[in-house]
Structure 1
Amino acid sequence: MPHLTLKDGDRLYYEVHGSGPPLLLVAGLGGVGAFWKEHVPVFAESFTVVLHDHRGTGRSSPSQIDYSVEQMSDDLLQLLDHLEIKCAGLIGHSTGGAIGQTLALDQPDRIGKLVLSATWSAADDYFKRLFQVRGEILSEGGVEAYVRSNAVFMFPPHWIRDKLALMLPGEKDAISAFPKPEIMLSRIRGILKFDRRDDLGAIRSPVLVIGARDDITTPAYFSEELGRLIPNAETLFLETGGHFFPLVEGAAFRKHTLAFLTHD
């Protein structure tokens, strides 16, 4: 699969699947496009699906830079330019939703329908504490402790109870593929600085805000706030699924997002 050489010489891994109107699938803090693996075949039946590994993650350059949501958004904008995509729909999960907000505000002609999944507009004290703790797990406990702790932050208890044996091979893969800790710590610092709450009223893209009631990483009140502040946004919640509800409740996630994306 191809790479894009960014303006500063770093490389961005990306994939393109299917045909139809362009649809960007943008992953969260982990940054790896494979987050969307289960969904790509379905979305690709109706859309040209574009996904990428954020800089510093996966098969993109392991850059030790000062990460920010603005920088991540600019990387994605360069990918749009490279692929000669004038305007695309976007599904952004968590940090990917922060990227989606940024592009919808700063490049409004480039973003069509926007799905904001388990995301936030500005860090509050709860969010800061949670990510400070996650950063301390990584810096003091190491990569293995960080990856093993992810399940508690990302999945509902019943999922871990029932699926732990199936999760263990994926954890081993995640540990072996994990970027240098300083890259992830810089990414955490970058998302904690993100704050576009006061700008949300300027978003003109049609927006679906979707969350899970039992998400402890980006609690439901973040989605409720986005729904209030973005003009004419639709807001809906799944009762369960945790922060990774697109994986836990994949069929429901696709049902709701496809209905929004394909409705005229």
Structure 2
Amino acid sequence: MYFEILGSELPDATTIVLSSGLGGSAHFWKAQLPALTSSYRVIVYDQNGTGRSPADLPSGYSIQSMATELLALLDSIEVKHCHFVGHALGGLVGLQIAVQRPALLTSLVLINAWSSPNEHSLRCFRVRKSLLDNSPPQMYLQAQALFLYPPDWIMNNIDMLEEEEQHMLASFPNKQNLLARIHALSEFDIEASLATVTTPTLVFANKDDMLVPWQRSEVLAGLLPNAELAIYEYGGHASTVTTPTVFNEKLLAFLST
């Protein structure tokens, strides 16, 4: 998989791994990098079958598959301990690693994530799958913005958003890979194992998230033995993009504790 190691080059620098949501791209974290790279060694990557990590995802591809791939990458560059920050699907990967390899994680940050399927999000995923099957890629990308961002943010950032959508259209991902990734996150259920996850965890949620009800973060935090829940009124599903200052300040405060 394509990856980059950014920030501090000090041999004892603390490592942070950033794992993106369904889109899978390292570019998702561009609003966080200036806040993190001055003090931390930061690893970003394009998830398998997305962006600069071309692959044909196999049958039965799962969140556990994604976690195993990332663990192989981190082992190959000799990462022994790290803070893990995951958005949505990336948070599910972090939860799987917390169960599968708990000694690796110093802390875990879960942004608008969940621990088991819910009917609202499943409806949203079915809509996205239908758009992939029955509509041009432009419509999938326009609908994606509706799931990710608050209405006023879209209105106020429309020029930037449309430019970004044109860029994404030029490198639109493999349809079968997208369907496999949507299926993987739709099937993920780790609630029975959450009581074993003792990693210090920040569960970050936004009440205006259209894709994942914020109450799923409340459930997640309630089932984790060592979790802090931070809920914000505004930001949508991709609050790392829409309210980066709020998110970055909370993240840095958590990492420093």
TM range (shorter): over 0.9
Aligned residue-pair number: 252
**1:109 CA drift (Å):** 0.5
Q: Deviations over 1:185-215 (max 9, x none)?
A: 1110111111001111110110000011100
- Supply the distance in 1 between the matched residues of 2:121 and 2:146 (Cα, whole angstroms): 15
Q: Deviations over 1:32-66 (max 9, x none)?
A: 01100121122111211001000010100232323
8 Å CA contact 1:23–1:49 kept in 2: the answer is yes
**1:230 CA drift (Å):** 0.4
Alignment partner, residue 41 of structure 1: 34
8 Å CA contact 2:14–2:41 kept in 1: the answer is yes
8 Å CA contact 1:62–1:179 kept in 2: the answer is no
Q: Structure 1 residue 213 and structure 2 residue 207: aligned? A: yes
- Supply the distance in 1 between the matched residues of 2:174 and 2:100 (Cα, whole angstroms): 31
**Equivalent position SS for 2:42:** strand
Q: Which of 219, 224, 228 does residue 230 from structure 1 map onto?
A: 224
Q: Which runs of 5+ in 1 are unaligned?
A: 1-11
8 Å CA contact 2:88–2:113 kept in 1: the answer is yes
Q: Which runs of 5+ in 2 are unaligned?
A: none
Scaled by the length of structure 2, the TM-score of the pair is 0.96
**Equivalent position SS for 2:83:** strand
8 Å CA contact 1:57–1:178 kept in 2: the answer is no
**1:178 CA drift (Å):** 1.5
**Equivalent position SS for 2:48:** coil
8 Å CA contact 1:143–1:181 kept in 2: the answer is no
Q: Structure 1 residue 195 and structure 2 residue 186: aligned? A: no
- Supply the distance in 2 between the matched residues of 1:207 and 1:142 (Cα, whole angstroms): 39
Q: Which amino acid aligns with 1:112?
A: T
Q: Deviations over 1:96-148 (max 9, x none)?
A: 00000000111011111100011010112222111011110111113221111
Alignment partner, residue 58 of structure 1: 51
Matches within 5 A, 1:146-225: 146-225=140-219
Q: Which of 14, 22, 33 does residue 29 from structure 1 map onto?
A: 22
Query: What is the RMSD of the two structures over their aligned residues, measured on CA atoms?
Result: 1.0
Q: Deviations over 1:153-172 (max 9, x none)?
A: 00001111111122110000
Q: Structure 1 residue 15 and structure 2 residue 11: aligned? A: no
- Supply the distance in 1 between the matched residues of 2:172 and 2:72 (Cα, whole angstroms): 25
Scaled by the length of structure 1, the TM-score of the pair is 0.93
Alignment partner, residue 107 of structure 1: 101
- Supply the distance in 1 between the matched residues of 2:184 and 2:214 (Cα, whole angstroms): 22
8 Å CA contact 2:2–2:53 kept in 1: the answer is yes
Matches within 5 A, 1:112-123: 112-123=106-117
Q: Which amino acid aligns with 2:54?
A: S
* Runs of 4+ more than 3 Å apart: none
- Supply the distance in 2 between the matched residues of 1:61 and 1:235 (Cα, whole angstroms): 36
Alignment partner, residue 6 of structure 1: none
- Supply the distance in 1 between the matched residues of 2:189 and 2:75 (Cα, whole angstroms): 26
Q: Deviations over 1:3-57 (max 9, x none)?
A: xxxxxxxxx0000011221100000010001100121122111211001000010
- Supply the distance in 2 between the matched residues of 1:245 and 1:38 (Cα, whole angstroms): 10
- Supply the distance in 1 between the matched residues of 2:57 and 2:93 (Cα, whole angstroms): 20
